[in-house]
Amino acid sequence: MSVSRCQSQAQTKRKSAPQELVGVVGLEIHAQIHSNTKLFSGSQVGFQAPPNSLVSFFDASLPGTLPVLNRRCVEAAVMTGLALNCTINRKSLFDRKHYFYADLPVSQPGPHLSFKSQAIVNHIYF
């Protein structure tokens, strides 16, 4: 394709009528589920507990440890999604990432589990 032909096509596109644009606004909503244990380990949750007293091997990111998903948290997320008329995904994928921040001590590398592609609940319909 020649340069002049590309230029004429670009000019033709600029001269055409502008397309009508429609704005779309999305919201991402997070909620804290009340549970006695953590989401991916059987460790207890306690806000008044001494530091590092409620930590399992998985929480400490020891190699070879695998998560155990808290059934009650999943059920609460699904029930909330149903109440809000959301899409409930039959399959959710999680990804374990390790973040290293300069302001964290070396003993706290900051492991993080996040949804890889699909959350448990999404797409609310009004």
The string of pLDDT tens digits covering residues 42-88 is 999 988 889 889 999 988 888 888 888 899 999 999 999 999 898 99
Assess if residue 46 is contained within a domain: no
User: Whole-angstrom Cα distance, residue 95 to residue 67?
Assistant: 11
Residues 12-24 have a mean pLDDT of 73
pLDDT at 5: 54
Assess if residue 17 is contained within a domain: no
Tally Cβ neighbours within 10 Å of residue 68: 14
Assess if residue 28 is contained within a domain: no
Assess if residue 20 is contained within a domain: no
Residue-range definition of the domain harbouring residue 98: 57-117
Assess if residue 125 is contained within a domain: no
> What total number of domains does the chain contain?
1
Assess if residue 109 is contained within a domain: yes
Q: Which band of pLDDT confidence, cut at 50, 70 and 90, is reported for residue 37?
A: very high
